[in-house]
Structure 1
Amino acid sequence: MLLNLRPLGERFLKSKIGNGHNAFFWFDCWTPFGPLIKFLGNTGPRSLRLPLDAKVSDACSEVGWLLPSPRSDNALLLHSHLTTIRLPSQASHADCFFWEVNGTKCSGFSSSSTWDALRPREETKRWTKSVWFKGAVPKMAFNMWVTCWNRLPTRQRLHAWGVIPTDECCLCSKEPESRDHLLISCDFAAVIWSAVFRRLSRQSRPFLSWAELLSWSRHASSQAPSILRKLAVQVSVYHIWRQRNNVLHNNISIPPMTIFKFIDREVRNIISGRRHRKRWQPLMLLWLG
């Protein structure tokens, strides 16, 4: 397994040339070009007249480098670089090897910085706090996360993949079943959001896009704190999607106001289960009010 990871590790293991007795000319990263066997290709040993097991010290003498004239652009770059470094034959100290990540020399091996370099983090999404917050129900937060990435297997996506013959919405059969239609503009979803608005934000108008829904969930007011809005959004999205699956797979249709009763009960249960937390204590009255 370690040998299989060698091509990955050569990005980080660098060599600083001293007398050139330990560093391999072709395989160690002692120049800015990485392993020279890759930089010059498999014909490099023949064109430079150096065997594969040659050390860096084998490529120079007391007066200079023992390399033939360059015959390629890469060989010319190597020659130009060699004119800027000290001859190994003139050094008394041994070669040293070190771990370098993103141009920074590490004190030994750093697993954390290496992992960050191998798996760079993307910029934090604006909707992150609408998905992950203290007290969120894991299954609903995960469903919300998939929804924000627009990765739900809606009928529009399934139709585009050639899995199903039609893309019409399961709940209204009027338009293609995209994420925004199913969860926002569908007549079924609109009834549920109207019921949510009556509880939290009576002056709100229907959502026009998914971004507008996320913006509403991040907004806070005395009657509807942000945490209550996020909870209501996650529970509503979860139950709308669940009802869509119920219609699609079980052919069971339930009226939207009945679904809202499930949402109402779910929100009450979640708040009751977290009533000992200071931020959650006033939420029940706000939801019922």
Structure 2
Amino acid sequence: MKAIIQQRDDIHQNLVWTEMLTAPKFSMKKMYMVVHDRSQIVVWITLFYGNVARPRALVNLWLACNERLDTRDRLNKYGLIDPTHCCFCNADETQQHLMFNCSETKGIWRKVLEWIQVDHNPLGCRHEMEWIIQQTKGKGGRAKILKLAFTESVYEIWRYRNDVSFGNAVQNQHTDGKIIDTIVYRGWTNRNLRTHLAKLMM
């Protein structure tokens, strides 16, 4: 409520607001651009435009983009756990390591990329974010499939990591298969992606 009241007070002191009150036609776009803080726009927001991934996968991606996944190093800072080693190897489990520096998760992501017919060597979370943002700038089917694949991969890898961490019986060979199945299922509902998916499935 304080933020809303503050916005109201700021608008009333704005010269554009006074101009709009006396103008023959009120321009909502012009007013929005005045109050909108452009400095808060993040580059990864484009990953969510036209992304047909599952809602829970999108939420998980949002957490990853904000570096808020509860990896062991993050939990250790709050004093919740002592060991910080990755559940797949002996390195410290940071988000940068888990997505996709770890040989286990890197292998999963590479298999998904191979299925999409993309030749790329993953080099860690930040690098992958930059790479995927560059690769998905267009509005074509390939860009949308890459967005979907990245989102679902981050989600399934996170689930896989949780299953291993909590001692649930899992098999790695099914993780990339699950991701590919989800890409096909979610993508097939979008008429524009069917042609691209059909070529990949041939």
Report the TM-score range of the alignment, normalised by the length of the smaller protein: 0.7 to 0.9
**Whole-angstrom distance in 2 between the partners of 1:8 and 1:194:** 48
The match for 1:280 among 186, 190, 193 is: 193
Contact 1:168 1:177 in 2 (8 A): yes
The match for 1:242 among 144, 147, 159 is: 159
**Whole-angstrom distance in 2 between the partners of 1:134 and 1:186:** 26
1:102–1:122 Cα change, 3 Å:
farther
Deviation of the 1:104 alpha carbon: 4.7
The answer to whether structure 1 residue 145 and structure 2 residue 62 are counterparts is yes
**Whole-angstrom distance in 1 between the partners of 2:164 and 2:15:** 52
Specify which structure has the higher proportion of helix. 2
Higher relative contact order (CA 8 A, sep 6+): 2
SS in structure 1 at match of 2:53: coil
The answer to whether structure 1 residue 219 and structure 2 residue 135 are counterparts is yes
1:213–1:9 Cα change, 3 Å:
closer
Contact 1:200 1:286 in 2 (8 A): no
SS in structure 2 at match of 1:232: helix
When the two structures are aligned, how many residues end up with a matched partner?
190
Instruction: List per-residue Cα deviations over 1:105-164 (Å, max 9, x = no partner).
Output: 2528x9x759x74x7454422211123324232221121111011111111100111111
SS in structure 2 at match of 1:157: helix
The answer to whether structure 1 residue 268 and structure 2 residue 184 are counterparts is yes
SS in structure 2 at match of 1:136: coil
- Structure 1 residues not aligned, in runs of 5+: 14-98
Larger Rg: 1
**Whole-angstrom distance in 1 between the partners of 2:130 and 2:8:** 45
1:102–1:252 Cα change, 3 Å:
farther
Question: Given the two structures, how large is their TM-score scaled by the length of structure 2?
Answer: 0.77
1:199–1:136 Cα change, 3 Å:
same
Deviation of the 1:175 alpha carbon: 0.8
Residue pairs, 1:70-109, within 5 angstroms: 99-101=12-14, 104-105=17-18, 107=21
Deviation of the 1:100 alpha carbon: 2.7
Contact 2:112 2:179 in 1 (8 A): no
**Whole-angstrom distance in 1 between the partners of 2:156 and 2:94:** 16
SS in structure 1 at match of 2:13: strand
Question: Given the two structures, how large is their TM-score scaled by the length of structure 1?
Answer: 0.56
Per the alignment, residue 115 of structure 2 pairs with: 199
Deviation of the 1:198 alpha carbon: 1.7
Residue pairs, 1:15-54, within 5 angstroms: none
- Give the percent of matched residue pairs that are identical in Structure 1 and Structure 2: 22
Give, as a single letter, the amino acid of the residue that structure 1 aligns with 2:126. A
The root-mean-square deviation of aligned C-alpha atoms, in Å, is: 3.3
Give, as a single letter, the amino acid of the residue that structure 1 aligns with 2:81. I
